[in-house]
Amino acid sequence: MPATSASIRRARALLGTFVEIDVTDAHGCDAEGAVEAAFSAVADVHRLMSFHDADSDVSRLNLEASGCAVKVHPWTFAVLKTALDMAHRSDGAFDIGVAGAPPQAGTSTLAAIELLADDHVRFGHPTVKIDLGGIAKGFAVDRALEALRMRGVRSAMVNAGGDLAAFGPDVRVVHIRDPQFPDRLLCQIEVSNEALASSARRFDPFRSADTTDTAVLEPATRRPAHGVYGATVRAPTCMVADALTKVVMIAGERAAAPLAHFKASAMLIATNGDIQTTSNWQGVLQHAA
């Protein structure tokens, strides 16, 4: 009979980062087996949606979909569907087509990607190249949580490089770094039965104490977004939270409509250092010491 454990914490290198799974209530179930199933789900998302893996759905679409309809895994199709909806509701601020050439006047990635029956996808223009890096990591976190729930885990958190989600009665305290001075903590946020994701300027503590441009690109120019230093989004799912951080980084206060549609709230750090939150931001923003 598999060994059971009340709690367990494991980490593994996946999705270009470290994925940590913290189970705090696994009474009566095989905790090790549940965690392995969760890591397997994350690995499946990586295999399907990697931009660099030649055998991934994303690579096959980028290579073949402008010439014919390509069948993809249902998970990939679901992420594409949400990505296109996010693009529509954000007026193009969220754009999975930033891997390709800049759009010509009068065209858009949204119009060039066709979702067809039976999980088939076709691109309407040969210059279209997609990258799901701005949404797939959050989707992987959601699939990991689903795997844990299905195996009887009652309380857990999955954290993939800052994109995280938790379920169960436990309240988790998450520390948010200051995007201007990432060696300092900006605040701490309580998370319970929801997802949280952040985007900011890049920071490599092994190379420099300074930040560099964000990896979030403006769709129209393919240049790093510059209107916001950092953004944190709370949402019902990590896929939505992950994608919406890019919308807030690009659109700033103009992201209010898509945030409201997806029942999400946000905190952003403006370029003058001001911290702004949406009116539905849950809980008190506790500044770290």
Binding-site entries for Mg(2+): 134, 242
| Helix ranges (DSSP H) in 177-227 | none
| Helix ranges (DSSP H) in the chain | 31-49, 57-64, 74-89, 109-112, 136-150, 238-251, 256-261
Binding residues: 134, 242
Say which residues have a Cβ less than 8 Å from residue 170's Cβ, sequence separation at least 6.
Answer: 24, 25, 155, 157, 192
- Please state, in angstroms and as integers, the Cα–Cα distance from residue 168 to each residue in 23, 165, 188, 233, following that order: 10, 11, 20, 20
**How far apart are the two ends of the chain, measured CA to CA in Å?**
47
Q: What angle do CA 130, 242, 182 make, to 5 degrees?
A: 110
DSSP string covering 235-254? ESSHHHHHHHHHHHHHHGGG
Q: How far apart are CA 80 and CA 70, in angstroms?
A: 13
37 contacts 148 by C-beta, under 8 angstroms: yes
Burial of 80: CB neighbours in 10 Å, binned 0-12, 13-18, 19+: buried
Q: Say how many CA atoms lie within 13 Å of 90 toward its Cβ.
A: 29
